[in-house]
Amino acid sequence: MKITREDDCTSEYTPYYRNSISSWLIYQRPSISFGDFFLLSDELLGLSEALRPLYLYWIAARGEKLMPSRSDIDPITMPRPLLPNIILVDVIEVPLRFRYRVMGTAIADMLGEDWTGHFVDEVPNISPNAEEQYMKTVRNGEPSINVDEYERYDPNLMQREITRYEQLLLPLSNSNHAVSMLLGGTLKSTETA
């Protein structure tokens, strides 16, 4: 098996390269490492077991469509253990911006603040990879996963704290073509440095 990229690099795995070094469409991959950003196919190899139920929920909600609409998503039918780890992000088209509509309590606790109502580009210390994931998920209309880190100052410890996380983003569309919202699941990563 091999990776096919524009620069013809090869490896023992089989993702297909798309547009930039941090963006891959998964066909086969044993795991996702820190700093990786991937677009996912229906085969969804490499997603953590904890986020897999959210992805399967999204697949069921979309039915025969390219992606489900916001009205297809019902918190009552979502995987209950993941509700504190859910985000809903509005996609503002011109200029392309992202606003947190809902941020689960577990995510707010992990980050030390609740970003509900804030635009992604207004959040201090957000990783460029995170914003890139939002943009590429909207542009491609496909689910994606990002394993990254968020740095913040913890006043209780009087020091900087780095939190690694895994984030699954799932596109939603009111028109079945243009992405109008993102449904996400974010979990603190167990991966060590």
Does residue 171 have a pLDDT over 80?
yes
Average pLDDT score over residue span 29-53: 57
| Amino acid identity, position 63 | G
pLDDT higher for 157 or 106?
106
87-142 pLDDT, tens digit per residue, is 999 999 889 999 999 999 999 988 888 999 999 999 877 778 888 899 999 999 99
- pLDDT (0 to 100) of residue 8: 33
pLDDT of 6 above 50: no
For residue 55, the domain's CATH number is: 3.30.450.20
| Residues pairing with 172 in the sheet | 181
Is 19 contained in some domain?
A: no
Q: Is residue 27 part of a domain?
A: no
What is the domain count for the chain? 1
Average pLDDT score over residue span 23-29: 31
Query: 112 lies in a domain?
Result: yes
Residue 58: which domain range? 48-188
pLDDT of residue 14 exceeding 60 = no
- Answer yes or no: are the C-beta atoms of 35 and 24 closer than 8 Å: no
Give me the pLDDT at residue 45, please.
54
Comparing 151 with 61, the larger pLDDT belongs to 61
DSSP state of 28: S
Asked if residue 96 lies in contact with residue 135, where contact means CB atoms within 8 angstroms, the answer is yes
Q: Answer whether residue 39 is part of any domain.
A: no
- The answer to the question of residue 79 being in a domain is yes
Beta-carbon contacts of 6 under 8 Å, excluding residues fewer than 6 positions away, are: 17
Instruction: State the average pLDDT over residues 143-153.
Output: 80
- pTM for the full predicted model: 0.73
User: In angstroms, rounded to a whole number, what is the distance separating the alpha carbons of residues 55 and 182?
Assistant: 12
Residue 169 domain-assigned (yes or no): yes
pLDDT of amino acid 5: 29
